[in-house]
Structures are given as C-alpha cells and as structure tokens.
Amino acid sequence: WSHSARKERAEREHEVATRIRIPSVQTIDDLMVEKCQPGDVILFDRRCECCAAGFSAALGCLLGKTILCDEEDGTRSVERGSYEHCGVVVPGLSDAPGAQHDPSNLCLLEATSGNGIVCRPLLTRLEMSRSRSVMLLPLSCPGEHRQQDVITGL
C-alpha cells in the first residue's frame, strides 16, 4: 500500500511539474485560487488510502474520519461535512506591491504528520491533492465586502 501510494504521488508530482498551461484556459484549481484570500480556510476530505507520507499519515487520516466524521446514516461526506484536514491561506513571500492579494502568491499553511507545520504554494497544493472534495470557507462577516470586491469596484 505505502509503496503504491508513494509511486502515485511521484507520478502526480511529475504531471503537475510538467503541465503545460494554456493562456485563457483555467482549471478548477485555478478558479478556486482566484477566489482565495489570506485568512480563508480550506477543508479537505482526504482519501486515506492515498496518504503517501507514510503509516502515521494514513493512521491519522483514518482516526480523523472515524472519530470526527462518522457517517452512520449513509449520507455523503459533502452533505455531512466529513472534512478531517484543513489549511489556512496565507500571503506568499513576495514583497512586490500588490503581491499580498495576487492569487499566484498565496500559500497554504497546514499541519502534516511527518514534517510538522508547512507552508506550500496554494495552487501546487490543490493540484497535488487526491482528496474526494475540497471546500473553501471565506473569512468574512455577513455583509462585509471582500478585498477582491473592493479592488474591482463591485
């Protein structure tokens, strides 16, 4: 199991690294990153069998699903919200003017079982994900305009 998960992860890394981006063509991941802003939370409904970080990652995933996301009535995880992993969107390292709100400069801060708390480029993290579903929870109060709306004049 672990060997096949690592092999699949390496193949996915190669696929993401060698992907050819066509101008004006966006993936679902690109669209999601455009909507993200620092402070937003991203939830993951992971597939425990795809945890390539090792036994402790898979065990943590299984325990999280068992304890936090028990689905006794047969409802789907999207309906119940069986998201056992999360990350917080943070600004990237670029100091260029306006880079704080540039979607390509956003990172995801998350806890991992083997490497502690890590910060990864958001788009790469979403492209590498093998989760069943990923949900964006924007950080805003009711009636509050998000920075993107203010910038575009909406």
The model's pLDDT over 2-39, given as tens digits with 9 standing for 90+, comes to: 667 677 778 877 787 887 777 777 888 888 888 888 88
Question: What is residue 89's predicted lDDT score, i.e. its pLDDT?
Answer: 93
User: Residue ranges of the chain with pLDDT lower than 70?
Assistant: 1-3, 5, 50-56, 61-62, 65-81, 100-101, 141-154
What is the structure's pLDDT at 29?
Answer: 84
Task: Check residue 153 and give its pLDDT.
Answer: 46
Three-class secondary structure assignment of the chain? CHHHHHHHHHHHHHHHHCCCCCCCCCCHHHHHHHHCCCCCEEEEECCHHHCCCCHHHHHHHHHHHHHHCCCCCCCCHHHHCCCCEEEEEEECCCCCCCHHHCHHHEEEEEEECCCEEEEEEHHHHHHHCCCCEEEEECCCCCCCCCHHHHHHCC
**Global pTM exceeds 0.85:** no
User: What is the share, in percent, of the chain residues with pLDDT greater than 90?
Assistant: 8
